[in-house]
Amino acid sequence: MNAATALKTYANVGLETGVTAADPHKLILMLYQGAMLAISSAKNQILRKEIAAKGKSISHAITIIDEGLKSSLDRNVGGELALNLSALYDYMNQRLLIANLKNDIDALDEVSRLLGELKEAWEEIRPSVEPAQPAATARPQAAPAKPAALTYGRI
């Protein structure tokens, strides 16, 4: 096994382990990160004139957005927000197709920026987990508020 194959195998195991251990909130973050990484790779591949690799990276980003982020939206719970996100994901995929056809780095940057903003917003709504207090110092706490319904629900 050569070094490149070993590194790829190691990365795949790390990703699979991360997915297996991740909660639904973390899985959405991983999808955002994966799409942004694929777009970054495509941008570098355009600059290096690696056209086939660029097409593969952009296709990967489109698949993550369409089959990962968009398909996991729960339109029944998310309502108008889920519909707006679905439309935004469609727009991103259109921009990625244009980027692929025209080697348009500006379109890649636009989609990456949009994904980054969504990722930051998703990070902000992360359910907080309070550290457990020892029994001797534990104080009664008010019942936790019901968590807000999340837009993503099929994961």
- pLDDT confidence of residue 147: 41
Q: Distance (Å, rounded) from C-alpha 89 to C-alpha 100? A: 16
**How many residues would you count in the chain?**
155
Task: Round to the nearest angstrom and report the end-to-end CA distance of the chain.
Answer: 35
Closest CA to 42 of 120, 96, 94: 96
What is the pLDDT averaged over residues 17-44? 86
Q: Distance (Å, rounded) from C-alpha 18 to C-alpha 30? A: 9
Q: Distance (Å, rounded) from C-alpha 113 to C-alpha 119? A: 10
Domains of the chain, first to last: 19-127 (1.20.120.340)
Q: Which residues of 107-122 are buried (b: 16+ CB within 10 A; e: fewer)?
A: bbebbbebbeebbeeb
Residue 138 — pLDDT band, cuts 50, 70, 90? very low
**Cα distances (angstroms) measured from residue 4 to each of 1, 9, 11, 37, 121:** 8, 9, 11, 19, 35
Give yes or no for residue 96 having a pLDDT over 50. Answer: yes
Tell me how many degrees the CA angle 70-72-78 measures, rounded to the nearest 5.
90
Report pTM. Answer: 0.72
What is the pLDDT averaged over residues 91-107? 98
User: Hey, is 152 helix, strand or coil?
Assistant: strand
Q: What is the average pLDDT score of the chain?
A: 80
**Higher-pLDDT residue of 12, 55:** 55
Residue 23 — pLDDT band, cuts 50, 70, 90? confident
- pLDDT confidence of residue 25: 87
Residue range 31-85, pLDDT digits in tens: 999 999 999 999 999 999 999 999 999 999 999 999 999 999 998 999 999 999 9
Residue range 142-152, pLDDT digits in tens: 444 434 445 56
**Higher-pLDDT residue of 89, 22:** 89
- pLDDT confidence of residue 32: 97
